[in-house]
Chain A
Amino acid sequence: MSATWQHRLAERGVDRRLWLLLPATIFVLLLFVYPFLYGLSLSFQPTQGGGVLANYDKFFGDAYQRDTIATTLKIALPAALLNVLAAVPIAFRLRGRFRGKRLLTTILVVPITLGTVLTAQGLLNYLGPTGWLNRVLLSLHIVDNPIRLTNNYWGVFFSLVITGFPFAFLLVLSYLSGIDPTLERAAATLGASRAQRFRRITLPLLAPGLATTFLLTFVLAFSVFPSAVLVGNPAGSTRVISLAAYQAAYEQYDYSYASAIAMVMGAVELVVVAIVLVWRSRLYTGSTGGKG
């Protein structure tokens, strides 16, 4: 009896080899799912008493805290969008083979290794009031006084572009090289102009990949933390939500409140992800590439 039972399960793909999945599953349950649920339940048990939703009331009732959501989105969405949109034309010019392609892609990867901290330090040096950029602008008489680009919104924005653009570029380039070039040639044979070929052939095939790239860059930008502190204005215009969560946990030692903020952060991020994914699912995803 048991032999046929095993046989039936095996037909559905359940056999001994599934045990190999066990370590990873236990690991994900213990270190990801359990902490997440623990944080979720902790967020409903406010340290200072009050109702179940007291932490969330506190967060949304306090404009200083509530505004961190808008602040974060105001930094992360434009930065992610710019990174993706700038990557498209550049990747478009760089696809295919040419001399020095490997060198160029390598140079583009380098900013990924800089990390947020060196980028922050470099931006402070380079864009600061006595930095090289202001010196050049001043000596060319483009500006009369040093322009302020650090310790405010722009500092964080530039830091996100420097770390996020190479990332977006590499992804877009790999999606673009996955599109079958014969399709475009066929369109050219049928008399489509360059603009038409791009708009009617390449772009629709690339769009799902662009959505994925946008998502991954957005996730990176959304959790901006070190640069918001180091090159931003962490008390004001760049007080992002991850900073609010960090302060609650490590400055006020209110883990319950910190977990609530982390949950809000996760929820906001997942809403954006869901919107993009829904939009993406309406796009064509065929076998000709652009798969994300």
Chain B
Amino acid sequence: MSRKFGPVRATPLGWVIWAVVVFFFVNLAGVVLSVLVSSFGKKWFDTWFPSGFTTQWYGDAWREFTLFHVIVVTLLVSALVVVLSVLVGAPAAYVLARKNFPGKRLVYLTFLLPILMPPITYGIPLATVLYKFGFAGHLSGVVLANLVPSVPFVILTMTPFIEQVDPRIEDAARMLGAGTRAVFLKILAPLLVPGLLASAILVLVRTVGMFELTFLTAGPDSQTLVVALYYSMSAAGIRAQQSVDAMAVIYTAMMLVLLVVALRFVNPTQLVARVKEEPSE
């Protein structure tokens, strides 16, 4: 921006800001690298670096924490959550983007609330209900709990994409005799592929990273990677610190792959949250 007013001037404030950014990154790198180095290290007490390097901790973590099973569960849960939340959320997003009807603001607010509330707040009553009906402790309970923030999230990310599609295209298709089904499958779905991809990937990233809801509803066989990681860490002392580190690295590697894929399809600002203003009447 400042380019338009001439070159960026190195003001004292500017230097302070850059120093703060660099300081933040140096420490962040320290945090991340310390886990990475430790996961490959042999013994590491009171020295700058471990005494030697090994990959044995990855094998240990893989066996001890039954990581294969955990990763399969994580992928299964995430895939189910993505498919279900898109199926439920996308039609609702369509209605909210296209139509005005009495009570729209109330409906919109109800869809927003699960995102605005801390997961623990509704997670505990939700887990209680899921236990009551026998869902919690199984994969189905974990999927149901994770759908709660995911469906509203799909609605919020899809709405702007749907608003961009010209309604006249739909009208034209209808004039030519297309039914509602045909309009959806042949006209809207192909045009909305970018939006569907974006929201699916965002839900995937959020579900893999979602700790609280999975933690509250998972049983021993339905833990996802984050939850397994938390348990392994809070039980530290029993197991070697380094295999916990190795597991954390596996988790981050998985998230990074997802992130790189996600960034090909979406704007980084959408990764965090996209709470749009309520649509103007």
Chain A residues engaging chain B, CB cutoff 8 angstroms: 12-14, 16-18, 20-21, 23-25, 27-28, 31-36, 38-40, 42, 86, 89-90, 93, 95-96, 98, 105-123, 125-126, 130-133, 135, 162, 165-167, 170-171, 173-174, 181, 184-185, 188, 212, 215-216, 219, 222-223, 225-226, 229-230, 242, 245-246, 249, 255, 258-259, 261-263, 265-266, 269, 273, 291-292
Contacts and interface: CB of A to CB of B under 8 A. Distances in A.
Contacts of B46: 130
Nearest to B228: A117
A95 B275 contact: no
Contacts of A106: 263, 268
B196 interface: no
Interface in B73-121: 87-89, 91-92, 94-96, 98-102, 107, 110-111, 113-114, 116-121
Interface in B97-150: 98-102, 107, 110-111, 113-114, 116-130, 144-145, 147-148
A25 B93 CA distance: 11
Contact of A24 (B5, B25, B111, B120): B111
Nearest to A43: B125
B124 A259 contact: yes
28 contacts: A24-B151, A25-B92, A38-B129, A86-B20, A90-B17, A113-B205, A113-B209, A113-B259, A114-B32, A117-B211, A117-B226, A117-B229, A119-B31, A121-B248, A122-B34, A122-B35, A126-B31, A130-B46, A212-B275, A216-B272, A219-B118, A223-B118, A225-B212, A246-B120, A262-B121, A263-B121, A292-B275, A292-B277
B189 interface: no
A59 to B, nearest CB: 14
B14 A93 contact: yes
Contacts of A111: 28
A96 B3 contact: yes
A14 B101 contact: yes
B61 interface: no
A2 to B, nearest CB: 19
A129 to B, nearest CB: 9
A166 B268 CA distance: 10
Contacts of B121: 223, 262-263, 265-266, 269
- Of B38, B145, B249, most A-chain CB atoms within 10 Å: B38
B94 A20 contact: yes
A245 B124 contact: yes
A45 to B, nearest CB: 12
Interface string B154-175: 0100000000000000000000
B271 interface: yes
Given A111-B28, A258-B124, 13 more contacts: A25-B107, A27-B88, A31-B145, A31-B148, A35-B129, A39-B122, A113-B252, A122-B32, A171-B273, A223-B120, A262-B122, A262-B123, A269-B121
A181 B1 contact: yes
Given A31-B126, A126-B34, A171-B269, A226 B211 contact: yes
A114 B110 CA distance: 30
Contacts of B151: 24, 27-28
A112 B271 contact: yes
B272 A171 contact: yes
B51 interface: no
Contacts of A118: 32, 35, 229, 248-249, 251-252
Nearest to B89: A24
Nearest to B34: A125
Contact of A18 (B95, B129, B211): B95
Nearest to A188: B5
Contacts of B35: 118, 121-122, 125
Interface in B8-61: 13-14, 17-18, 20-21, 24-25, 27-28, 30-32, 34-35, 38, 45-46, 48
